[in-house]
């Protein structure tokens, strides 16, 4: 039976994440990783500066991933061609109505739970009780959805956490190797309690490193392909239907190249800002201020998306691109 991630459980996971970060960040420095430490003679002040800088980046990016709204459709948003959509709905497209799918050729779908239109790549989150722009997944560790606005903060958080745990792993192993080479009569030989602490810290950090790096590589791989976690599941489902010859194969429309995909995921083409934890949070589409919206600077605002140019090969002129791909 799956565990229900209730608000109380999410709060506990938030506290656990902060406690785990603190445990792996500061306790080793207090007991083991100090300049001129008997257990790690090569650890210097510069190592401490680098390590604490990385830890600071983890805290800042994590808190921003937690508190930043992932983005939601603006009230009253309607897709282009909504009049045609309503006409086709009145003409008897009840299957689309029942399934909450796209009607006609418009780039949008109707959310039955919110009773409002939602743009392409927008999904309804049951835990948040709302639609989220470019929803990737609901993360219990941040008690928040990962979506259009906070995806860059989330990617920075897991990337800095992965690098920091790898850095710590290297130095914890160096400590064990140094202790192993010590003669039994050496005054630097740690006590049994200290040795147990080192082993426990190494075990916890190893498990954390393994899990974090799998998550980071998976998320960065999806970012390079221009997909979200939900879209990856939908592509698997689509491939299964194609193998069973239920639907015709359709090319995923939003993979516009590795560099462009990464720029879209991080919200900027300036690669040096991808690592900056203080980077400005991108804004979602505001139809009330069209004159102040810059497509090159602000992108599609989580509502409009650049496609890869293969949509002409899809042979789905009677249906929308989204409906053809996700039917």
**What confidence score (pLDDT) does residue 149 get?**
92
Structure tokens at 88: 């086709």
Structure tokens at 325: 């791909």
**What confidence score (pLDDT) does residue 78 get?**
81
More confident site: 184 or 197: 197
**Residue 38 to residues 41, 43, 87, 182, 193, Cα–Cα distance (Å):** 6, 10, 78, 11, 16
> Picking from 98-107, 170-179, 221-230, which range would have the lowest pLDDT averaged per residue?
98-107
Confidence of residue 194 (pLDDT cuts 50, 70, 90): confident
Model confidence at 186: pLDDT above 50? yes
**What confidence score (pLDDT) does residue 89 get?**
46
Model confidence at 255: pLDDT above 90? no
Model confidence at 292: pLDDT above 80? no
CA 301 from centre of chain? 17
Secondary structure E strands in the chain: 109-111, 116-118, 123-125, 130-132, 137-139, 144-146
Nearest-angstrom CA–CA distance, 280 and 267: 9
**What confidence score (pLDDT) does residue 181 get?**
79
**What confidence score (pLDDT) does residue 25 get?**
92
- 39 burial (CB, 10 Å; 0-12 / 13-18 / 19+) is buried
Instruction: Round the average pLDDT of the chain to a whole number and report it.
Output: 80
SS3 category, 144: strand
pLDDT in tens, 110-130: 888 888 888 888 999 998 889
**Residue 142 to residues 97, 217, 250, 253, Cα–Cα distance (Å):** 34, 19, 34, 30
Taking residues 38-67, report their average pLDDT: 91
DSSP string, 45-61: HHHHHHHHHHHHHHHHH
Nearest-angstrom CA–CA distance, 35 and 48: 8
**What confidence score (pLDDT) does residue 156 get?**
97
**What confidence score (pLDDT) does residue 185 get?**
67
Model confidence at 35: pLDDT above 90? no
What does the chain come to in residues? 327
Q: Rounded to the nearest 5 degrees, what angle is found at the Cα of 120, between the Cα atoms of 119 and 123?
A: 80
**What confidence score (pLDDT) does residue 120 get?**
86
Out of 139, 145, 263, 324, pick the active-site residue: 139
More confident site: 84 or 242: 242
SS3 category, 95: helix
pLDDT in tens, 206-216: 999 999 999 99
pLDDT in tens, 134-171: 999 999 999 999 999 999 999 999 999 999 999 999 99
pLDDT in tens, 303-317: 777 777 654 433 333
Nearest-angstrom CA–CA distance, 65 and 63: 5
Looking at the chain, the whole-number percentage of residues with pLDDT higher than 90 is 39
315, 311, 320: which is closest to 104 by C-alpha?
320
**What confidence score (pLDDT) does residue 88 get?**
46
Nearest-angstrom CA–CA distance, 102 and 209: 41
**Residue 114 annotated in active site:** no
**What confidence score (pLDDT) does residue 67 get?**
94
**Residue 79 to residues 105, 117, 177, 221, Cα–Cα distance (Å):** 10, 7, 62, 30
Looking at the chain, the whole-number percentage of residues with pLDDT higher than 70 is 77
**What confidence score (pLDDT) does residue 90 get?**
42
């Amino acid at each position: 039976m799956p565990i229900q991630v209730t608000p109380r459980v999410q709060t506990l996971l938030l506290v656990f994440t902060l406690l785990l970060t603190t445990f792996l960040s500061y306790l080793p420095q207090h007991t083991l990783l100090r300049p001129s430490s008997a257990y790690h003679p090569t650890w210097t002040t510069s190592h401490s500066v680098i390590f604490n800088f990385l830890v600071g980046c983890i805290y800042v990016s994590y808190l921003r991933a937690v508190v930043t709204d992932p983005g939601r459709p603006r009230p009253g948003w309607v897709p282009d061609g909504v009049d045609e959509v309503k006409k086709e709905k009145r003409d008897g497209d009840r299957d689309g109505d029942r399934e909450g799918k796209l009607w006609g050729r418009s780039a949008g779908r109707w959310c039955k739970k919110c009773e409002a239109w939602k743009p392409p790549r927008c999904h309804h989150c049951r835990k948040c009780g709302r639609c989220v722009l470019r929803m990737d997944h609901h993360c219990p560790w941040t008690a928040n959805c990962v979506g259009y606005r906070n995806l860059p903060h989330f990617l920075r958080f897991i990337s800095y956490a992965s690098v920091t745990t790898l850095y710590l792993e290297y130095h914890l192993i160096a400590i064990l190797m140094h202790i192993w080479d010590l003669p039994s009569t050496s005054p630097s030989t740690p006590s049994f309690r200290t040795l147990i602490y080192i082993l426990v810290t190494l075990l916890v950090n190893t498990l954390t490193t393994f899990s974090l790096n799998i998550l980071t590589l998976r998320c960065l791989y999806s970012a390079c392909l221009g997909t979200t976690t939900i879209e990856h599941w939908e592509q698997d489902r689509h491939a299964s239907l194609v193998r069973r010859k239920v639907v015709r194969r359709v090319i995923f429309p939003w993979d516009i190249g590795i560099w462009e995909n990464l720029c879209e995921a991080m919200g900027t083409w300036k690669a040096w800002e991808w690592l900056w934890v203080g980077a400005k949070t991108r804004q979602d589409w505001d139809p009330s201020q069209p004159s102040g919206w810059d497509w090159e600077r602000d992108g599609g605002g989580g509502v409009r998306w650049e496609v890869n140019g293969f949509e002409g090969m899809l042979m789905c002129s009677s249906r929308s691109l989204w409906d053809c791909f996700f039917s």
